[in-house]
Every structure is written in C-alpha cells, then in structure tokens.
Amino acid sequence: MGAGLPGSPRLTRSRPPPGHGIVHLGPGAFFRAFNAVYTDDAMAEAGGDWGIIAVSLRSSTARDQLGPQGGCYTSVTLATGGDTHRIISAVRDVLVAPDDPAAVVAIMADPATRIVSLTITEKGYCHDPATGRLNRDHPDIQHDLSNPDAPRSAVGFIVTALARRRDAGQPAFTVLSCDNLPSNGAVARAVVLDFAQAYDADLADWIAANVTFPATMVDRITPATTDADVARLAQTAGYFDPGCVVHEAFRQWVVEDDFIAGRPAWDQAGAQMVRDVAAHETMKLRCLNGTHSALAYLGYLAGFETIADAVADPDFAALCRKLWQDEILPTVPPPEGEDLHAYCDTLMERYCDRAIRHRTWQIAMDGSQKLPQRLLGTIRDAMDAGHVPAGLCLAVAAWMRYVGGVDEDGKAIDVRDPHAKTLRAASDGADTTEGRVDALLGMTSIFDRDLARNAAFRAAILQAYATLERAGARAAVKDYVSG
C-alpha cells in the first residue's frame, strides 16, 4: 500500500483495551470487513470481553498495517451515492506466527481464549477438496507433525494449543470456521482430528469429546483494498489508514449455535443463529460463489476486469440468470425463510453495483480449491437428476482454459493457485484438446473419479472447451444464452 495524502495523519488509538476472548487466524480483508465488524457491533450492543487477537499465519502485512494504529482500522461501505465509513476497534493485537510461533500457541492456550475463528481461505485447511480429508503429504502438515511446538498451519496451531489445554486441565475452545467451504465446521473438525490422530490418538479422542466446530455461512463482497481506496478515505476522513477495508453494504452470517465456552451476542448484531446451516451454505456456495466463479473465468477470458463490468454485458447477465434458473436452483433445497428467486434477484443487484470493483482475476484465484463446492457438486446433482448442465460445464471448461495460462489474445495470465504449476504442466503436456481436458479431469484432488469418468460430463466439457478455443468466451456465452 502506498503513502497517504501528504499531511494526513495516521489513524491511531492510544492503547487498545486489555483482555480478549477470540483468537482469529487469517486477519485479511474479509475478516476485517465481516467478523470483526459483527464482533464490534455485538460488544456495543451487549458488552462482553470478546476482543480479538488476530494472527497472520504468513505475512506481516496485517501487523504492519494495524499495529501502528493500535489494532483499529476503518470499514468503508461502498455505495454509488457516496461511501460511509466507521472505525472498528474489536482487534486488540496482531501477531505474526512465523516470527514467534510460541507466542501464538501461548495465547491460544490461554484459558481467556474461548473461540478460535478462521478465515484462512480454502487452501488453509490443507485438505483434499474432493474428499474433505487432511492431506498428510502437504508440506506444512509434514512440517507440523515433526515440529508441533513451532507449527506453520492453522491445523497445527489448533492441535498444539488444544494439547496444552488438555495437559493443563483447562477447558477447550470452540473452533469457528468462516471460510466458503461446504460444511466448513465438519471440514475443520475432520482435518483437526486427522492431524491429532497422527500425533497422539488420546488427544484426538479428547478433542472429539470436548471441542465443537460450528458451521457457518458467511457473506459480504469484499474486494481487495487498493491504493486508490486508501487515498479516497484520506480525502474524505482526513487520516491515512492503510489497513482500511472496502465492502458492500449487504452482509449475512448464519451460524450454528454450538459454542462450548460462550460467544459474543452476534445475534444482536444481525447474525442468524440456527441449528442447521447446511441449506444456507448450499444456497450461498452454489448461487453466489458458483456464478462468481463462472463470471470470473468466462469474464476474464472475455476481457472484463470486474464482476460489474461482466454483468453490464447483456449476454453475461443472461448467463448468470440462466445458470440460476435452469441449472443451479433445481439442485438447491430452499432454506427456511428464504425465497430463492428473490435471493438471486438480490445477487444480481449486488453484482451490478458499479461502486464495487471486484476483479474477475481476484475471484479466479485458487480455482483448484473452489471448483468442487461451487460448480462440481451442482453438476453432479443435475446429472443425477438426468440432465447435463451445459452452462456450468462451460464454466469448468473456462477454468481449464484459464489455468492453461494464456488468454485469448495470446497474453500470459497470472494464475494464482496452490496447484498452478501442475495445472499448467497438465495443460501444456498434451497437444490435443482431448488430451488437455483429460489431463485436467485426471486431477483427483479436484474431480472425483466418478464424475471425471462420466462420459456425458466429459463430452460436455470437451465440447465447451473446443468452443472456447475456437470461438472465444464471448461467443461461447452468446451461444449458451441463445440456446
């Protein structure tokens, strides 16, 4: 992040109040625009000592941004009629795990920590997205199993801290996943138990009996903060805040109410505390994230920089509507209290908001971790119900073109994905359309074997991929929406 406007002082507070109740792993933009805002609101409404110690598992960016500001930062709600901003003060401190892993273990093992929450993105679970189980060959997991006192992964930190709690005769904490994964609580539980099992089977039993892993559905569109956002805030607010976050006004948080050691009054801040989150998760992952990824890959290939740019094109808006109507909604059981058609109308309004510059390139990141829950599960369900969803297959084929690393003008694509190299090699290693598609379908951590071997699915992907190669994304989308 660049410098502020000349003369604008840095946002700061003299000293954050002491005490905390939450350790949060992954203090990026989404956490700051979402979890911390809900917690700030909950403490304002109902009090409670739920201050947050935020922990970066990799870079020092969050500490560099928030540290000098005493943990506070600005949450900016973007709107065409003018932004509004407020200062969030729920974060008490920011730690950088690689600098001092022991300090992170110590704060997590401190009985004041009653919740460990996570926004570590899909890849942070070190799991195999096709099965939901821990990938024990993951380099960070291998490292953590042999160095439990100085872990690197979220799973390693959680298990080591829980071992300390058990050994000290202290109660455990709740582990709260806030990532866009289906059954995110169950995935967190599975990876923690798989890791603990490999480390100490008694500990795994203790965790299974003493820790809860509530599921959550999280939703707020939060594009990466740019230098222009920081400069705009400096102009309107009169201070420099490189830690600010920008987001839409909309927010929705549905949380399974299963906390072993209490929680902030998030319900008083508008969160829906429910017994079963699954239907909400499926709705959100398939309707929002599914079309987001479709628009990201097809939109990027078609030359659209943002989601709002893409849906300003009538064919891309029609693509989105047709995906919902014909292919996604028939697979989504409506959650109690939700009207699915109204939900999708609101999504379209959110996508069209030109104040939100959400880049297709940002959403296209980490596709290998996102495809199963956003597109492939929907495709599988549609096929089980007897039809091949051509639009979703087109989106998967667009992902295949995207990870090939060359755009429709022959320019390189900066593909960000933990498997970027393998994906590129799979694509480059074949010299026919069929060879490229088959090499990518053969990636079992993404495509489950049954789906990859399904002849109708393969044929649909092959046809879509060939159309993209021959005619490009705009023509392929036009073709689909007029079909």
Binding interface with ligand CS2 (CB under 6 A): 180, 219-221, 288-289, 292, 362-363
Alpha-carbon distance of 181 to 132, in angstroms, equals: 10
Q: Which is nearer to ligand CS2, 180 or 454 (CB)?
A: 180
Which residue in the shown chain puts its C-beta closest to ligand CS2? Answer: 292
Q: Which is nearer to ligand CS2, 60 or 362 (CB)?
A: 362
Q: Which is nearer to ligand CS2, 4 or 367 (CB)?
A: 367
Q: Min. distance of Cβ 369 from ligand CS2 in angstroms? A: 10
Q: Which is nearer to ligand CS2, 67 or 418 (CB)?
A: 418
Q: Which is nearer to ligand CS2, 122 or 327 (CB)?
A: 122
Q: Min. distance of Cβ 37 from ligand CS2 in angstroms? A: 13
Cα separations in angstroms, 328 against 133, 210, 325, 388, 447: 26, 38, 7, 12, 19
Q: Which is nearer to ligand CS2, 234 or 392 (CB)?
A: 392
Q: Which is nearer to ligand CS2, 25 or 234 (CB)?
A: 25
Q: Min. distance of Cβ 290 from ligand CS2 in angstroms? A: 9
Q: Which is nearer to ligand CS2, 113 or 289 (CB)?
A: 289
Q: Which is nearer to ligand CS2, 23 or 364 (CB)?
A: 364
Q: Which is nearer to ligand CS2, 8 or 289 (CB)?
A: 289
Q: Min. distance of Cβ 28 from ligand CS2 in angstroms? A: 11
Q: Min. distance of Cβ 179 from ligand CS2 in angstroms? A: 9
Q: Min. distance of Cβ 160 from ligand CS2 in angstroms? A: 29
Secondary structure of the chain in HEC code, one letter for each residue: CCCCCCCCCECCCCCCCCCCCEEEECCCHHHHHCHHHHHHHHHHHHCCCCCEEEEECCCCHHHHHHHHHCCCEEEEECCCCCCEEEEECCEEEEEEHHHCHHHHHHHHHCCCCCEEEECCCHHHHCEECCCCEECCCCHHHHHHHHCCCCCCCHHHHHHHHHHHHHHCCCCCCEEEECCCCCCHHHHHHHHHHHHHHHHCHHHHHHHHHHCCCCCEEEECCCCCCCHHHHHHHHHHHCCECCCCEEECCCCEEEEECCCECECCCHHHHCCEEECCCHHHHHHHHHHHHHHHHHHHHHHHHCCCCEHHHHHCCHHHHHHHHHHHHHHHHHHCCCCCCCCHHHHHHHHHHHHHCCCCCCEHHHHHCCHHHHHHHHHHHHHHHHHHCCCCCHHHHHHHHHHHHHHCCECCCCCECCCCCCCHHHHHHHHHCCCCHHHHHHHHHCCCCCCCHHHHHCHHHHHHHHHHHHHHHHHCHHHHHHHHHHC
Q: Min. distance of Cβ 406 from ligand CS2 in angstroms? A: 22
Q: Min. distance of Cβ 396 from ligand CS2 in angstroms? A: 15
Q: Min. distance of Cβ 110 from ligand CS2 in angstroms? A: 31
Q: Min. distance of Cβ 417 from ligand CS2 in angstroms? A: 12
